[in-house]
Structure 1
Amino acid sequence: MTRRFFSRDVAKALGYFVNGKIFGLQNEYTGRDGGTPASRAALARLRRDLDGSAPAWMLIGGDLFDGWSQSLPPAEDDPAALRAAKTAMELYAVHQQSKGYGVAQDTGSARADRMTFGRACRLIQPDLEHANGVIGKLKSAEAVPDFEGVVRNMRALIMLMRSVGERRITIDYRSLTQDLYQMQFPEARSDVFLRWSMDYHSKIKQ
């Protein structure tokens, strides 16, 4: 039976599962100059799938489904969980491309220091008087009615994070995965953008 309502338990388990997948890739990619051939190929596959073509399930199946957690419902029973996991890994692949350091934050960090998506967006341009482009994309993400539209705006924001020069902007991909899952349920969607707004507008360490 397809899940119809947001589940915090599923969101939590999904966040841990995807985070483990991402850190496995990150350790391989940043552990040696240029990454292992397998990690480079995996990131390329995931980026390709985010670029708008129809999902190539047989191409990315191993990256996504290998080790699917027993604490999660079967992927066919919870399409929102599957979309969130797939999208989080694809966004990470875009974020990590050609970076010699890990862009996924170690979630052992104190809660106040976790780089949620809202906080990461603030670091693109910390001066709010000059951040119209960032704020505009965040507003667009909230305004679009479909999940794919939100993801397009998130991808654009991550591309901006990649282009800020010497500043390193990381993301807590565990929390981002949970956000991607939650925003697919109408009764819980607005809470995601509320958190992003609070984190974006709160004073943070740079």
Structure 2
Amino acid sequence: MKTIILFSLAFIFTAYSAPAPAPVLDLSGKPLRTGAGYIIIPVDNLVNGGLYVRDLGKKSCKPGVVLSYNEEAGVPMTFTPVNPKKGVIRLSTDVNIQFSGSTTCDQSNVLRLKYDKGMKQYTVMVGGVEGNPGPETLDNWFKIEKSTIDDAYKFVYCPTVCSYCNVTCSDVGIVEDKDGFRRLALSNDPFSFIFYP
């Protein structure tokens, strides 16, 4: 019995003393802060512009996240972890991602994953819910991971806010739709970027 108790205490101590994941860094080398605005800048020389929200609907409002074709910097984004009191955004942890300002479709600016029937794949839209981690908000949580390109990052859809939910993890990349818009979507080719403060 003493052995079991000692083993349990050792396990609890090890679990709570595990180091926190590394912080996500902006272009100046400072950790990303909860609620602060950052512009996403592509690192691929063939890709210009930044991310913004665009109404992609023909008959009804359909706000999707797209990459600009010109040199526009894009719209600042904020990041909120599961525990919003945590001041630093860390690698491999669930975060809500939100555009600053208002959208054209009178919906929230929080990113969410949604299946696009026309593209026949999951794309990143807005209209998600901030906070409230669990199965009802599973599509609203993303992770920031290191890209294979030095000092760059990528978004990954692989939420862990629901321990019993069945989730298929995937990188988030740029996919061109039939109208020529470069949209954020699940992809085997991740979109690599840096954070501009």
Q: Would you tell me which structure has more strand in proportion to its own residues?
A: 2
Identify the structure with bigger relative contact order (alpha carbons < 8 Å, sequence gap 6+). Answer: 1
TM-score by shorter chain over 0.5? no
Q: Would you tell me which structure has more helix in proportion to its own residues?
A: 1
Q: Which has the larger radius of gyration?
A: 2
TM-score, normalization by structure 2:
0.28
